Amino acid sequence: MLLLAVYDPSRMRLEAPVPVRLVNRLAIGQSVEVTLDRPAKGFPGTVSEVVSEVDPASRTQLVKIHLDGATGDVLPGTFGRLWVDAGPREIVSVPASAVIRVGQLEFVQAVRDGRAVRRLVKTGPARDDSLEILSGLSAGDVILVNPVPQEG
């Protein structure tokens, strides 16, 4: 039976499950960026351990990061995020004006055989005045930036 738990606020750490495909981007002693929910701010961190066991259900490995500069305002059990640079990737993005929302569905009007046809898409993060398209379009597809109203 646990009677007493003591923590040192100057030795706080974040334990984060990291997808196996990203673990090779982290090395012991490497500086990383961590954000916590409480206090809601970022902290520099240093990778102190990469657990060699892989969780087969989530395909992740546990990475332990020492929080540099953490003080008494960081409490044990606080939720945090470890930011890992996954490298560059190609994306498909469209102007936000090209996306039509009907309830929870999102569409663009693609040009096919000289006609505008609705194509269901799934959008991702917004960047400036454009939206990332996660699915539904491919690079090179032609869409209408200002969709034509459809009769219903």
Domain residues for 76?
Answer: 9-83
> What residues have CB less than 8 Å from 119, skipping those under 6 apart?
107, 108, 109, 110, 136, 137, 143
Instruction: Give the chain's mean pLDDT.
Output: 88
**Residue 76 located in a structural domain:** yes
List, for residues 26-41, the tens digit of each pLDDT value.
999 999 999 888 888 8
Domain identity same for 101 and 64: no
Is residue 152 over pLDDT 60? Answer: no
pTM reported for the whole predicted model? 0.59
Same domain, 44 and 102: no
- Which of the listed residues 31, 55, 83 is the one where a domain comes to its end? 83
User: What's the domain count of the chain?
Assistant: 2
**Which two structure tokens, joined as six digits, stand for 57?**
């259900």
